[in-house]
């Protein structure tokens, strides 16, 4: 099974941002810490995202994207349980600063 399929299955085909469940063709892999900002392709840095939310997030780190979006942040913290703990800490800390 390829990485994309493994992540989708691991996440239950659920977008980490909106919480919706989608067919695979409506999903994409999202880098919590974008590759252009030092992130990697490890499973701890990848989440399932619907194409609309992944486009909205763009190339910003998840902590910056989620800082002003309490509903999406709540979904992410509920569903993205497989990401690296440092990413989850950064999201919680950014929310406290706002």
Instruction: List beta partners, residue 62.
Output: none
Instruction: Please check the confidence at residue 98 and state whether its pLDDT lies above 80.
Output: no
Q: What share of the chain is helix, strand, coil (3-state, %, to 5)?
A: 55, 10, 35
Total structural domains within the chain: 1
CATH number of residue 62's parent domain? 1.10.30
Judge whether 36 and 73 are in contact, CB under 8 Å: no
pTM for the whole structure: 0.94
pLDDT tens digits, one per residue of 49-96: 999 999 999 999 999 999 999 999 999 999 999 999 999 999 999 988
What integer is the mean pLDDT of 5-12? Answer: 98
Angle at 79 (CA atoms; ends 11, 59), nearest 5 degrees: 85
Range of the domain at 39: 3-97
> CA 98 to CA 86: how far, in whole Å?
19
Tens digits of per-residue pLDDT, 16-46? 999 999 999 999 999 999 999 999 999 999 9
């Amino acid at each position: 099974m390829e990485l994309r399929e493994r992540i989708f299955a691991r996440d239950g085909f659920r977008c980490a941002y909106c919480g919706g469940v989608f067919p695979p063709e409506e999903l994409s892999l999202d880098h919590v810490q974008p590759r252009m900002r030092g992130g990697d392709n490890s499973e701890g840095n990848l989440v399932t995202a619907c194409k609309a939310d992944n486009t909205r997030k763009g190339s910003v780190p998840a902590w910056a994207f989620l800082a002003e979006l309490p509903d999406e942040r709540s979904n992410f913290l509920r569903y993205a349980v497989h990401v690296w703990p440092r990413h989850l800490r950064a999201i919680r800390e950014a929310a406290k600063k706002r």
